[in-house]
Amino acid sequence: MAADQNSGLLQRLVLPPIKQAHWKDTLPDQLQRLRPGSLNLISHHWQMRCRDLSSLIKLLQGEGFRIASFHTQEPLTAISAQALGLPVQLLESDPMASDATPSDDSGDQSSDTKPDCTTQLRLHRGTLRAGEQIETAGDLLVLGDVNPGANVAAAGDVMIWGRLRGIAHAGRDGDRAAKVVALQLRPLQLRIADQVARGPDDRPQPGLAEEARIDANEIVIEPANPRLRARMSVPATD
Amino acid sequence: MASTSRTILICSGKGGVGKTTLTANLGIALARLGLRTVVLDADFGLRNLDLLLGLENRIVFTAQEVLAESCRLEQALVKHKQEPNLALLPAGNPRMLEWLKPEDMQTIAGMLEKQFDYVLIDCPAGIEDGFKNAVAAAKEAIVITTPEVSAVRDADRVIGLLNTHGVKPVQLVLNRVRPKMMASQEMLAVDDVTDILALPLLGLVLEDEQVIVSTNRGEPLTLNGSSSPAARAYGNVARRLQGDDVPLIDPSKEGRGLRAKVRRLMQKKIF
Ligand SMILES: Nc1ncnc2c1ncn2[C@@H]1O[C@H](COP(=O)(O)OP(=O)(O)OP(=O)(O)O)[C@@H](O)[C@H]1O
Ligand SMILES: [Mg+2]
């Protein structure tokens, strides 16, 4: 159902709804119905880490496909895609649609779907320097570093495509399921809901994204593990 | 020539990290390259650029009189005795701080740009009014810091402000580098600093007693053709500003100890 061979327009590849099937299983079939070449990839609510994404890209390349643009509703996936140099469009996230089947209405979603950020996601491009701060009522996505002396806070998740070396507060209004994700998590101080932690002292491992979340009343920091994704993608809503 | 004039703010955030020393030495170094250079003291509260240049006793008028139009710019400019390509526009009375506005600094800079290739502005420490006035006149900036956490933090703050004021390009000079302390990791490494500040490194100045000696004499190091490490560094900053591709010194080569060198090499490979 993903193959859409509108002549003139770029063909689109729409990943299946999360609950129906895994994209890895459906992909070979889907690709069969497409002509090798450029395509727009719509991943909807799939949460993908760099590792998932690069395996997807490899699979596509193997069959002669190239991603012309990458559409997602997941900030985390957007971060990964950005990291791999894909042209990313973060789609407006429809909270109703997140559990529905995104492929149903995908027919009228053309590649020029407004890449508008949600009202819930605040996107900041560029490094935040000492003395600068951002606060937002939704999720926060920073494409850049958060330097020592800078301060970011969000009612939802704080996601940093860069190094966090300042202070970050996720779940500012008390959401204990909120998390902080960064390519390098070496904050001066980290807060999730009402929990406070100092950043770790050891040197970060290069190339690993890390995330902080509350586990048994403690803030834990660990490599953002792609295998944890499924679990993480069903956060408790308040 | 006036159209290619470059107005560069020399600032730091934190006080005492070497702004005035850099302004004086860079001024001389640029002048020695044959470039018409003026240094403007924007530190009205604690002016001492005149002192460093040994020109204190030759000041008759200041920027204040120029702005009040009670003297011509030419009358206020103090030409350097040994280096005629260099002039100083002295800061006025500290009371100027009470009425000086960003527009006034722009007026002064505008006048200077008509006659000089380089206008170097010695910025006061901090990010208050004095800084705001000075930044208004600047097109580009050199941020100077020492490899200390607090200085780097303040520098970062200032860079953020420079960005919001649209000052571009902003380049970095790292001052008072002590290779031995860096090698033993008692001091932030060059990479640590550039990592955070994310600016192109325009110069690396070693800790050098000669700086202090020359300061007290009122003769910038770059004036007497000294070959001390700091003098060379200031000269290199001038040449890099002019677009010459002068390699940076490597502090690890200046330091001692094989272990430190090996460690440094390995760190380079990883990043
Ligand atoms: N590379 C260096 N080696 C040794 N001493 C230095 C070096 N650079 C600067 N200094 C010394 O540091 C002191 C402060 O320098 P300077 O006055 O240039 O700083 P500043 O940033 O202009 O200070 P302020 O914020 O008060 O205006 C001076 O005594 C100077 O001699
Ligand atoms: Mg000074």
Both tokens assigned to B155: 């520098």
* Interface residue ranges in chain B relative to chain A, Cβ cutoff 8 Å: 149, 153-154, 156-157, 159-160, 163, 196, 198, 270-271
Mean pLDDT over all residues of chain A?
A: 77
For ligand 1, say whether the CB of B215 is within 6 Å of any of its atoms.
yes
What average pLDDT score do residues A168-172 get? 96
pTM of the entire structure? 0.72
* Domains parsed from chain B with CATH numbers: 6-270 (3.40.50.300)
A138 exposed, middle or buried (CB, 10 Å; 0-12, 13-18, 19+)? middle
Considering only CB atoms, which chain A residues are within 8 Å of B270?
206
For ligand 1, say whether the CB of B24 is within 6 Å of any of its atoms.
no
- Residue B3 is predicted with a pLDDT of 60
- Residue A104 is predicted with a pLDDT of 36
Distance, in angstroms, between B271 CA and closest chain A CA?
Answer: 8
Higher pLDDT, A161 or B89: B89
CA of B4 to the centre of ligand 2 (A): 27
For ligand 1, say whether the CB of B176 is within 6 Å of any of its atoms.
yes
The answer to whether the beta carbons of residues A71 and A40 sit under 8 Å apart is: yes
Buried b (16+ CB within 10 A) or exposed e, B66-97: bbeeeeebeebbbebeebebbbbbbbbeeebb
- Residue A220 is predicted with a pLDDT of 81
Question: Which of the residue ranges A232-236, B158-162, B202-206 would you say has the lowest mean pLDDT?
Answer: A232-236
- Residue A198 is predicted with a pLDDT of 81
What is the per-residue pLDDT across B102-135, written as a single tens digit (0 to 9) for each? 999 999 999 999 999 999 999 999 999 999 999 9
Both tokens assigned to B4: 């290619």
What is the per-residue pLDDT across A201-220, written as a single tens digit (0 to 9) for each? 666 555 557 788 888 888 88
| Res. B263 pLDDT band, cuts 50 70 90 | low
- Residue B233 is predicted with a pLDDT of 96
Q: What chain A residue is nearest to B159 in terms of C-alpha separation? A: A129
User: Residue A233 carries which DSSP code?
Assistant: T
- Interface with B, mutate which of A128, A132, A147 (most B CBs under 10 A): A147
CA of B41 to the centre of ligand 1 (A): 15
Is A127's CB within 8 Å of B198's CB?
A: yes
In a 13 Å sphere around the CA of B210, the CA atoms on its Cβ side amount to 20
Query: Of the segments A13-22, A145-154, A199-208, which one has the largest average pLDDT value?
Result: A145-154
For ligand 1, say whether the CB of B41 is within 6 Å of any of its atoms.
no
Judged against a pLDDT cut of 50, whether residue A230 lies above it is answered with no
Mutate which of B11, B51, B150, B211 to test ligand 1's pocket (most atoms within 8 Å of Cβ)? B211
What is the per-residue pLDDT across B171-203, written as a single tens digit (0 to 9) for each? 999 999 999 998 888 889 999 999 999 999 999
